[in-house]
Structure 1
């Protein structure tokens, strides 16, 4: 980015984080999220942080924003009243889904309920063939009959998803034009625009999800823009996408489904930079906030990417139990394990934590805002990990006696434990839940967690990172500077980018070189139109990927195209990728490419690895704190260090607590910590 004064805003389920990057310093703030009007906390926080920095809204060169609003609307079913218009005979594809049971032995298994009721899934006669030829022309009269239904049912948004429209979108485009003329205020989403690729169920599901959140996000982003204008902010407002790139507000208003993981994606961008800065070629990004924890694998300074994501899973780790969306997304596992996650004792007298969260209202019991259920934050207060007087930079006072009452009341009393042992049980369960999720995610991708570097950020992550590393067999933990608002820092590192996808089935032995070249030229033109809105001049970085398979297989693998597009080069790239994933190739089988993607972005260079920090004297503590250690349950008087006083090369031994405005880093017994050249805390040891 060439902008010098930039503001990043990250709205989470519990906190809204702001980071103001100035030419000579950085200022950050953390506020409770205002769920009824999320933009209110953003505008209030912006006023406060600008005043603290001594500048005005007019001095800002750029605002980058990420939000969980689209995700929350899908999870909580608080989107627009949405109808689906599809090819006659195919309205039940959303309920037929994959035609399998994601929990085979659960007799009470429930599939995710579609976002549109069955009587709002409407059909029109039309039919495209798989090659894009017209088998049955669109019945325009039948389409217009539906207008009365849409008006009578007070429909706010419509998703149009016709069969094989990814090859030929003519019928979808004509249907949109007719409906828009009859109902100008109707929000319309076409599957051929939001998800132009094969597989009817996922394409339709993505289209409906986009339509469902489109009016909400358009209204929210409009209020956000007006709110910024009211305080004198006139600079561009860009939005973080799930892919790790940023886009203009106009693109976000058309395709809000691309924002479903925007906040967590920003954190991974930060982790990528920290990995490069430290020379950690194999890393694990760990983002734990107030509501959820997110874990991502990073290899060779590149986060894993995916084109498939599930929102609102009914079963925590079960694929197929959520609403599928096919969008460019950083591949991560997200679980309901944050500071606000609620603890309870289940019917088998086991401690269970999450996935439900106390959020910001009422919040954990220790917030003193009428919350009474014990949460992870309450447990951390009881264990001495959090200073009640210094939470959120001292802007939010905590009540430790309320935390103790909640923990002993709902957990300790039920199990006959004292308050500290009950709190330790809560912390151990949430740490093991996160460790299990990380193990499963790694195995599913043919990788492991050992010998990686854990990069931890978010308000709660530094409290739990060392213990999580122990459970995963990881010997190094890195806590970035200002880790409590890490995702917002990541927004400032993200390039302006956009990805386009097209399905075009081609066998390698009959590859039409001209057709492939024309396909990529068309995709580049579409992507460049979007990217140039926020990055008008300068060279662009391009990344091409083909999703390929052996003929007869049901799914594809992503193959990066670095050079020529000739059949021999594509075969070599496919076989190398296939062997890496599955340990072998299958000789003499035909290979075909199904889907092609092109990502275009503003150039971005990762930093060079920092040299080791200079030797320094051991750090000096500012006091002592009573701390209960997770692994042993031992109570110790641990030294407390102020992170602002720790210079490059400063070292200390655990047990210890390192405090800063947005979080606290816990260094357990058996670990040592040192300060890197860039200010990161590097914690090592603990692996047995």
Structure 2
């Protein structure tokens, strides 16, 4: 057999999704995640899908992997016993943060709990100035004393974050050398390598996060690599980064913090591909799985990106309430609103959903694995939008009575509602949570949410997409083929890529083209070296960016640089580009104001292409349902028999109207009475809002 298979695996908090592509054919599998040893579900899923294809591990050319393991380790505080070594006087950077309150008027706010407690933060005498000059030499004896204490404290991993190390990393590197000699098995993260940027709080937080998850991720990736080798796999392993690129496993083990949002990044790539095929220049990616829901804006077929995001927010929609991680990332809002999100009544007897999740173990009550509390999946089973006999292609039998019992105990009894109405209350609340997240995310980006159309995927989103669209005023909803495993499909469209960002201050009125070109060349060489193991000879391209601002401002906007050495005359071109981009964001610029460059970015990627816009679907006879199912509608208070269609029996051009259900192995789509639907030329379910 020819080695021509490509496999992608996405480990979520509840489900592990597996996708196989072979010469235009695509096979999928969805199975429950095994939280204690995630690689077990991965290997089982790959074995099953290879059996379906009649192939073996030796036929696999590429294995692409994304996971939320790093994210979950931070959220659940299951990382390594980690310490921090900082410059004297900077022990409390993680507590002081940026000296702001995410809610000015709440006297009882909960600040995010640092990953390293104060007792495990150590300082040593040393000091660099803002230009990288040594003001105080590193006290090596103090470093050795700290090393001895790290040994006594049984520290597994340490982050080193010295002031201004982003300009001159010499002291951080020397400290690592001393620790390596004193504690050979200690894992060491340098802030100057993980996040060589100005702003010590974000840089320190990022270094600490990398150190915190590194032993866990390194152990997991080592086990995964060994398990695949034992199965006679000899292809290439890629990991998906939070920025939507692929990286070699060696780079992933060195910078595991880059994997924190790897699963959701694949979903955004998938949605961008769907948007391009449908010609949707403004799309709202809506990915709802078993544990969380993610919303991402896509403009001109490109997901919005950012350089900073927060993990483990204490307040769902408030910036500053989470732990900052400064890495390239596809920008999205993520909330605890998945199929496993637990529903309950609060002290005021209001229905609340999430962020706690039943996960895969024990799972929602209907899984019959010991879960006692109702989850969103239980509500959908009771409402009738999920068939308990055909969940996950019939591989997981659901217990309708258990779902009803949990909803009755935890929701219906306290409100005096019927079980059906309690289920609808849960459905309505989780849909409102997602609609609110979409509104907030759009406002933060200066976008108008109802000017976008919704692309729904993940195991749960197609069930809720119509209701979310109604709430936010969206006119069209697209549910693509393989929606239930969309993130894994997106992995296979991602480029091999790595982005470096470094801070070096420069004013445009004293622009030093030679210095900037030297820095960019160094960054280009380093990024190319990191991409090379994964690119394996593929053609690459480079994108260079400067992060600029008016002097006195607190934040920057990016300006694209030419992919060549800079010259003195580029200063005026950069000013013009900055003022143009600034005006695009704020509708004006500030004439004659001084401009400065704070940081520089170089991204090296293999080439990828977007799919062409699809043609028109053919005309075919009206769709024929395979059956009918009783679905409870809370707005009317009635149960209605709605037609059920099998997606694999709906050819392009098929038309039907809501209310209706389209069932498939990985998910089901509920089309409400507000929409008509058809199957487009690429097999997407397209729901269009009825007039009026």
The CA distance in 2 between the partners of 1:239 and 1:473, in whole Å, is 37
Task: Name the structure 1 match of 2:59.
Answer: 59
Q: Confirm or deny: 8 A CA contact 1:286 1:455 kept in the other structure.
A: yes
TM-aligned CA deviation for residue 93 of structure 1: 0.7
Q: How far off its partner does 1:631 sit?
A: 4.8
Shift of 1:626: 0.7
Corresponding residue for residue 645 of structure 2: 641
Contact 2:85–2:160 at 8 Å: present in 1 too?
yes
User: Corresponding residue for 2:441?
Assistant: 441
Secondary structure of 1:407's match?
helix
Structure 2 contact 86–124 (Cα < 8 Å) conserved: yes
Residue 4 of structure 1 and its aligned partner are, at CA, apart by 3.3
What are the within-5 Å matches in structure 2 for residues 480-629 of structure 1? 480-561=480-561, 566-629=570-633
Change (3 A) 1:686 1:106: farther
C-alpha distance in structure 1 between counterparts of 2:181 and 2:486, whole Å: 46
Matched-pair contact (CA < 8 Å) for 1:19–1:489: yes
Whole-angstrom CA distance in 1 between matches of 2:232 and 2:630: 47
Decide whether aligned partners of structure 1 residues 49 and 550 sit closer, same or farther in structure 2, where only a CA change above 3 A counts. Answer: same
The 3-state SS of whatever aligns with 1:239 is strand
Q: Which residue of 1 aligns with 2:285?
A: 285
Distance 1:179-1:205 versus aligned 2 partners, 3 A rule: same
Per the alignment, do residues 332 and 3 of structure 1 end up closer, same or farther by CA in structure 2, a change over 3 Å counting? farther
Q: Which residue of 2 aligns with 1:261?
A: 261
- Distance in 2 (CA, whole Å) between partners of 1:536 and 1:51 is 28
How many residue pairs get aligned? The number is: 687
Alpha-carbon distance in structure 2 between the residues aligned to 1:629 and 1:585? 51
> 2-side partners of 1:560 and 1:466: how far apart?
38
Structure 2 residues not aligned, in runs of 5+: none
Kept in 2: contact 1:474–1:687 (CA 8 A) = no
Equivalent position SS for 1:201: helix
* 1:667 counterpart = 2:671: yes
> Over residues 93-122 of structure 1, what are the superposed CA-to-partner deviations in whole Å (9 max), with x where a residue is unaligned?
110001121122222212112111212111
SS of structure 2 residue aligned to 1:560: strand
Q: Aligned equivalents of 2:650 and 2:408: distance in 1? A: 37
Give distance in 2, aligned partners of 1:58 and 1:613. Answer: 39
How far residue 253 of structure 1 moved from its aligned partner, in angstroms, is: 0.2
SS in 1 for 2:406: helix
Provide the secondary structure at the position in 2 that maps to 1:639. Answer: strand
Alignment of 1:93 onto 2:111: no
Aligned position for 2:163? 163
Q: 1:275: how far off?
A: 0.5
1:196 — aligned with what? 196
* 1:309–1:329 CA contact under 8 A, matched in 2: yes
What CA distance in whole angstroms lies between the structure 2 residues aligned with 1:133 and 1:654? 68
Partner of 1:317: 317
Contact in 1 for aligned 2:508/2:595 (Cα 8 Å):
yes
CA-CA distance at 1:79 after TM superposition = 0.7
Structure 2 SS opposite 1:16: strand
Q: Deviations over 1:245-277 (max 9, x none)?
A: 010000000000000000000000000100001
- State how 1:17-416 maps to structure 2 within 5 Å: 17-416=17-416
Query: In the TM superposition, what whole-angstrom CA distance separates every residue of 1:190-237 from its partner, at most 9, and x where no partner exists?
Result: 001000000000000000100011111100000011111122212111
**1:24, CA displacement in angstroms?**
4.5
Paired position in structure 2 for 1:9:
9
Residue 650 of structure 1 is aligned with which of 635, 654, 672? 654
Is contact 1:112–1:323 with CA below 8 Å preserved after alignment? yes
Distance 1:661 1:379 in 2: 19
d(CA) in 2 for partners of 1:613 and 1:150? 65
Q: How many Å separate the matches in 1 of 2:146 and 2:24?
A: 59
Shift of 1:3: 7.7
Cα-to-partner distance string for 1:3-44 (whole Å, 9 max, x where unaligned): 831110000000011111112421111111111111111111
Query: What is the CA–CA distance in structure 1 between the aligned matches of 2:253 and 2:373, rounded to whole Å?
Result: 37
Range with bigger deviation, 577-586 or 416-425? 577-586
- Give the conservation status (yes or no) of the 8 Å contact 1:535–1:602: yes
Q: CA deviation at 1:150?
A: 0.8
Question: Within 1, Cα distance between the matches of 2:419 and 2:679?
Answer: 34
Q: Secondary structure at the match of 1:61?
A: strand
User: Which range moves more in the overlay, 98-107 or 440-449?
Assistant: 98-107
CA distance in 1, matches of 2:680, 2:195: 44
Shift of 1:628: 2.1
Looking at structure 2, the residues matched to 423 and 527 of structure 1 have their Cα atoms a distance apart, in angstroms, of 51
Residues 174-199 of structure 1 show CA distances to partners (whole Å, capped at 9, x for unaligned) of 11111112211110000010000000
Aligned residue for 1:8, secondary structure, equals strand
Q: How far did 1:630 drift?
A: 5.4
Query: RMSD value over aligned CA atoms?
Result: 1.3
CA shift, 1:342, in A, is: 0.7
8 Å contact kept, 1:467–1:630? no
In the TM superposition, residue 629 of structure 1 has moved relative to its aligned partner by 3.2
Shift in alpha-carbon separation, 1:293–1:155, aligned structure 2, 3 A: same
**Residues 63-72 or 578-587, more deviating:** 578-587
Residue 680 of structure 1 deviates from its aligned partner by 1.0
Inter-CA distance 451–632: structure 2 relative to 1 (3 Å threshold):
farther
Shift of 1:538: 3.6
Aligned CA distance change for structure 1 residues 47 and 26 (closer, same or farther; 3 Å):
same
- TM-score, normalisation: structure 2: 0.98
Cα deviation, residue 654, structure 1: 0.9
**Deviation of the 1:287 alpha carbon:** 0.2
Matched-pair contact (CA < 8 Å) for 2:282–2:301: yes
Task: Report SS of the residue matched to 1:450.
Answer: helix
Rounded to whole Å, the distance in 2 between the matches of 1:138 and 1:687 is 71
SS of the equivalent of 2:451 reads coil
Partner SS for 2:450: coil
The answer on whether the counterparts of 1:675 and 1:681 sit within 8 Å (CA) in structure 2 is yes
Deviation (angstroms), 1:555: 1.4
**Which of the numbers 662, 671, 684 marks the counterpart of 1:680?**
684
